[in-house]
Structure formats: structure tokens, C-alpha cells
């Protein structure tokens, strides 16, 4: 009997290629041309730094050369811009003929995970450049755009609406962790209807908060049955975006704010995360010598969303008019928890047992426990989560709380209708 042929080595790459969309090619082409322009600026900066140590003058702009050398670098960038414009125009015309593979009918989880990570790292730049790889905010169920009318026709929409907001570099599909999905679990336990937000986590948290406030109003207006209860569950950065949306909705008088009954934050860095602060020191170290200073451009690829995590920004005023890469004290405007809402928070710690010292230092590996619980030495900045609305889970990391049974049970207790 003939032996079964070995699996093709191209299975993995072929699967990856089948997940590409026509617009992805255009987006990658734009990234490539932008990378070429950026590398030329780095090279020119190094060139000028060397000339500066020899006492030779530079160009009118810091980090730029002059004369024939400056013309060469400028020519490289000019040609790159022309190539980019030509590629974008040609690929845009070709897109209708490239088609969409049949696999597009399925949820391309790997592709969405890559796009989510890319948007988290440099989503602000993608959006600014109009790159088709930039994620647009929207509501989803099972990885597909939400259709309220279809829910109404199927009779699957309830008056208890639950919105889940993911964290940095993640997407709506990643609420499913180790076979568990908090949204699906709450739907089964409480009869609510979960919808999942997908958004560009590289944008400022306040920018996403404002857009979420507007889209929530449109969602409530289009919901096929009257919304009687609205709840929001945010993981990590998602908690900051949700708090920003609540504040902006209240300031604008959006009606959905009056329907909000619950706000739950899971591992949210309400007062910042040391991981971003550590990344900030990379800028300082690279900028310490004239030879390494041009490479600080590479360290400054961190998106606006990432740098907002340094102190836990919620408002536009927290970052507007400030250099987000410069070391500065916490200048946030204190924003209280939304009034008339049951606000709850879950903090995780890798520590094996309750220990004030270990909990303060270890946290969940990304967010300190005190930041997740809203504690702050300054009473004006402290978030007043009631003791009964605080939960600490031990032996759990930042992502593990997405699939933690203890967290799931606590969510059911908090979100269950009173009485």
C-alpha cells in the first residue's frame, strides 16, 4: 500500500498568503516606502553627527546635511515619495481584479492578530498616512461586523447590552482565551447580548474614547429592542478607553450615558504602567551621544496609545501640547469614576499569596496592582472603587485573567441584575 505523501512545506506560507486581502498589499507597499525614507533620515543624521564632531557645519535643519550630500539624501526621499504614489495608484486600480479568497468567509484570526499588534505599535502613524492596514473602530460578533437588524430578525438581541473593549495590541477575537470568553459566559449566565469593540490601539486613548462615545450612541439608537441596561467591560487599555468614553459622553450629554449600569476594568493601568516608563528611558539612552542620537527615531516608533500608558491618560488635555517622548511628571487632570454606575475593578498578581509588599512590586507582570485597583498616594487622583467592587486574583498574569474562572465568577456576581 503506498505511503501517504508528507505534508507540503508550503502549507504554512500558503495559508498566510490566503489570508491576505487586496488592500494589504497596498498597505505593506506604503510601509516599505516609508521605511526607506526613514532609513535615509537615520543615515543622514549619522552622517551629520560625524561631520559635527569634525567641526564641519551642517544644514539649516538639525540632523540634515548640506550641499551635494544634502541633495543626494533629499533625492532619495523624493524618489521614494514618487515610487509610493505610483505604487498606491497602480495597486488601487488592481484591487477589484485581485479578488478575495474563499477563506475570507472564515474569520482570519492570525491575520487579525498581526494587524492588531501592528496597529498597537504604530497605529497612529498608519491612520495619519491613510494606510489601509489601519484598523477602523467598529462593533463585532464572532469576528464579523455587527448587524443589529439581523439580531432583531433572529430574535437574539436582549435589552441588556454588554460591550467588551480589548487592550493594547489586541482585537475582539482575543477575548477568547484558553477556550473561555467572558462575553459568551456572561451571555449564558445573565442573558445579556455581548458585542465586541475592535479599534486601533495605537491612537490616543482619549481619541478612541471620543469615538467610542459616538459609536455607542449610534449602536443604542440602532438596537432592535429598547436598551434597558448597558454594561462595559474593558481589559487593560480598554478600561482607560471606556472611562474616557464615559467622561466625554457625560460632557456632551449623550443619552446612552444614562443607560450605563456597570463599568468593569480588568487589569487596567489607571495610574500608568512601568513597562512604558522603561521604554521611555530607551529614548534617553539613545540620545546621550551624537553617534547614537539619530537612532532615537527608531525608539520613538512607540505609538500614542503606548505612551498614554505611562501615566494612564484619559483626556485630550493630558497629552495635547506636550512632547510625549520627553520625561515629565504626571500632569493628568483627575477624572473620577462615572457617577451613578457600579464601577468594579480586577487586579491580578503573580504572587502566590496575599502580601502587601509582593502585590505592590510584582503586579500582573505588566500593570502594578495598585494601579489596577485605582489606589494613589494623592487623594485627588485616587479612584474610589468600593471595597466590594475590588477583586484581586493571585497566581495570574495580565492576559491570564481573560480566561480565569475566578474572574468569570466575579463578573457574574457584579453584573447580575440587582434583586
Q: Which CATH number characterizes residue 193's domain?
A: 3.40.50.1820
Residues 52, 186, single domain; the answer is no
Exposure of 245 in the CB half-sphere (CA atoms within 13 A): 28
Answer yes or no: do 84 and 219 share one domain. Answer: no
Give the residue with greater pLDDT, 57 vs 226. 226
- Give how many domains the chain has, as a whole number: 2
Asked, for residue 305, whether it belongs to a domain, the answer is: no
| pLDDT value of residue 144 | 92
Distance CA 4, CA 79 (A): 52
Cβ neighbour number for residue 244 with a 10 Å cutoff: 27
Q: What is the distance between the alpha carbons of residues 389 and 394, in angstroms, rounded to a whole number? A: 17
User: Which pLDDT band, with edges at 50, 70 and 90, does 51 fall under?
Assistant: very low
Together in a domain, 150 and 93: no
- At residue 348, the 3 state secondary structure works out as strand
In a domain, 377, yes or no: yes
51 and 168 in a single domain? The answer is no
pLDDT band at 25 (very low <50, low <70, confident <90, very high): low
Q: Give the single-character DSSP code of 165.
A: E
The verdict on residue 212 lying in a domain is yes
Query: What separation, in Å, do the N-terminal and C-terminal C-alpha atoms of the chain show?
Result: 69
Of the ranges 36-40, 191-195, 265-269, which one carries the lowest mean pLDDT score? 36-40
| 71 and 194 together in one domain | no
Nearest C-alpha neighbor of 372 from the set 286, 267, 218, 223: 267
Query: Would the pTM of this model clear 0.85, i.e. be above it?
Result: no
Does pLDDT of 340 surpass 80?
A: yes
Say whether 87 sits in a helix, a strand or coil: helix
Identify which has the larger pLDDT, 138 or 35.
Answer: 138
Are residues 214 and 352 located together in one domain of the fold?
Answer: yes
Answer yes or no: is 174 within a domain: yes
pLDDT tens string 293-319: 554 555 566 889 989 999 999 999 999
Q: Is 50 a domain residue?
A: yes
Residue 359 shares a structural domain with residue 249: yes
| Joined grid coordinates for residue 128 | 495619519
Closest CA to 41 of 278, 289, 301, 321: 301
In this structure, the answer to whether residues 164 and 93 fall within a common structural domain is: no
Place of cell 479612584: 383
| Residue 49 phi, psi (nearest 5) | -65, -40
pLDDT of the residue at 292: 44
Least confidently predicted of 6-10, 149-153, 242-246, 260-264 = 6-10
Q: Is the pLDDT of residue 12 over 80?
A: no
Indicate if 256 and 394 belong to the same structural domain: yes
Phi/psi for 346 (5° steps) reads -120, 125
- Do 171 and 85 fall within a single domain? no
Q: Does 261 reside within a domain?
A: yes
Domain containing 41 equals 20-97
d(CA 246, CA 263): 9
Amino acid at each position: 500500500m503506498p505511503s501517504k505523501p508528507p505534508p507540503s512545506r508550503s502549507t504554512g506560507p500558503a495559508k498566510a498568503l490566503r489570508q491576505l486581502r487586496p488592500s494589504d498589499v497596498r498597505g505593506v507597499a506604503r510601509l516599505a516606502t516609508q521605511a526607506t525614507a526613514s532609513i535615509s533620515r537615520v543615515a543622514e543624521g549619522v552622517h551629520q553627527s560625524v561631520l559635527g564632531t569634525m567641526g564641519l557645519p551642517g544644514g539649516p535643519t538639525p540632523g540634515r546635511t548640506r550641499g551635494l550630500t544634502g541633495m543626494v539624501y533629499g533625492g532619495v526621499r523624493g524618489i521614494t515619495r514618487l515610487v509610493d504614489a505610483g505604487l498606491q495608484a497602480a495597486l488601487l486600480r488592481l484591487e477589484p481584479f485581485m479578488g478575495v479568497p474563499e477563506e475570507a468567509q472564515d474569520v482570519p484570526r492570525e491575520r487579525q492578530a498581526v494587524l492588531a499588534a501592528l496597529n498597537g505599535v504604530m497605529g497612529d502613524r498608519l491612520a495619519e498616512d491613510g494606510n489601509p492596514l489601519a484598523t477602523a473602530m467598529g462593533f463585532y460578533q464572532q469576528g464579523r461586523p455587527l448587524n443589529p437588524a439581523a439580531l432583531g430578525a433572529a430574535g437574539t438581541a436582549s435589552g441588556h447590552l454588554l460591550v467588551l473593549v480589548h487592550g493594547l495590541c489586541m482585537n475582539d477575537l482575543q477575548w477568547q482565551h484558553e477556550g473561555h470568553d467572558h462575553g459568551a459566559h456572561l451571555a449564558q449566565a445573565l442573558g445579556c447580548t455581548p458585542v465586541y469593540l475592535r479599534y486601533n490601539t495605537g491612537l490616543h486613548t482619549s481619541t478612541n474614547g471620543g469615538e467610542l462615545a459616538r459609536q455607542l450612541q449610534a449602536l443604542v439608537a440602532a438596537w432592535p429592542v429598547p436598551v434597558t441596561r448597558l454594561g462595559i467591560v474593558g481589559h487593560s487599555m480598554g478600561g482607560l478607553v471606556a472611562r474616557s468614553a464615559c467622561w466625554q459622553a457625560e460632557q456632551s450629554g449623550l443619552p446612552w450615558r444614562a443607560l450605563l449600569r456597570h463599568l468593569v476594568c480588568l487589569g487596567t493601568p489607571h495610574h500608568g504602567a512601568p513597562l512604558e516608563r522603561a521604554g521611555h528611558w530607551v529614548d534617553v539612552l539613545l540620545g546621550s551621544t551624537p553617534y547614537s542620537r539619530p537612532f532615537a527615531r527608531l525608539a520613538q516608533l512607540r505609538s500614542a496609545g503606548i505612551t498614554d500608558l505611562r501615566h494612564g491618560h484619559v483626556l485630550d488635555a493630558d497629552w495635547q501640547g506636550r512632547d510625549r517622548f520627553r520625561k515629565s511628571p504626571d500632569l493628568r487632570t483627575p477624572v473620577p469614576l462615572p457617577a451613578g454606575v457600579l464601577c468594579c475593578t480586577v487586579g491580578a498578581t503573580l504572587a502566590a499569596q496575599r502580601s502587601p509588599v509582593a502585590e505592590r512590586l510584582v503586579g500582573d507582570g505588566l500593570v502594578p496592582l495598585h494601579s489596577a485597583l485605582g489606589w494613589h498616594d494623592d487623594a485627588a487622583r485616587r479612584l474610589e472603587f468600593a471595597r466590594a467592587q475590588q477583586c484581586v486574583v493571585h497566581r495570574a498574569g495580565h492576559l491570564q485573567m481573560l480566561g480565569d474562572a475566578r474572574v468569570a465568577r466575579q463578573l457574574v456576581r457584579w453584573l447580575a441584575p440587582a434583586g
